[in-house]
A = this chain, B = another copy of it.
């Protein structure tokens, strides 16, 4: 029953001369998603964004940029190289490619180093790992073209491992109802005015995309006991009414450990459960992104039970 929930992610901004990415149409994106060995399940659109729910995670397309996340053993790097081959490197203003901390890296079809080789055959850039190999870590490649990011171009990612408690139990149970999941994740109180598109997988697993104007959020739940993973990502600022958004999810899902990745967004740990911050890093990308990575473990983590193999 093992499923690698942790995602690979590409975010790509095109140059002003490039036609709107949304005008490329669904068949273009279907082909690209197929290159990663995923498929489109459903979509929701507004005036600014087309949000596709995938068999493995999500794709958001705006006029001048797109964001694609895929989990499992998908080959997102092939979607990235397909895009570059099709539109040409001149269309790329900025590209970042990330790989999150995996449970079973040896079951993946490629390592980050392998992906890097493919990407560098197409476009030049810098690559880093943040965090030790024997603890949570994060990989990023990003292009080295001249580009200046808008300071309001922010991203907040919360990656939760080993969820526990009532909601975790419910997410692993049979006969789940999609309304119950929305309620337990507090979607209406936390993110009520977003148009949402969600999907309940068999026998379990849940994905939701939400959009509001140019804003998005996405949640992917891989509830499997022993290797559970829930990711949340948004371009909302974690201030004002959203200042305890991460805290609310942490209290609902009670992960044993979690990572936070931010672009141009200072860490906001307001209301977090008691934790050890095991690692912390900040780095400045030349294009004006402040990337932060931090890894937390809950205090009073559970007594470890041996897993029979």
Contact = CB atoms under 8 A, between A and B. Distances in A.
A108 interface: yes
A87 interface: no
Contact of A113 (B256, B283, B306, B309): B309
A101 B257 CA distance: 18
Nearest to A229: B134
B281 A306 contact: yes
B306 A280 contact: no
Interface in A252-304: 256-257, 276, 278-281, 283, 293, 297, 301, 303-304
B304 A132 contact: yes
Given A106-B111, A309-B113, A130 B279 contact: no
Given A101-B134, A106-B105, A128 B304 contact: no
Contacts of A108: 106
B227 A133 contact: yes
A161 B136 contact: no
A131 interface: yes
Nearest to A133: B103
Nearest to A309: B127
Contacts of A126: 308
A116 interface: yes
A306 B283 contact: yes
A40 to B, nearest CB: 30
B301 A130 contact: no
Contacts of A276: 276, 278, 297
A121 interface: no
Interface string A128-164: 1111111110010000000000000000000001100
Contact of A280 (B103, B106, B116, B304): B304
B161 A130 contact: no
Nearest to A304: B281
Nearest to A278: B297
A104 interface: yes
A1 interface: no
A307 interface: yes
A306 B129 contact: yes
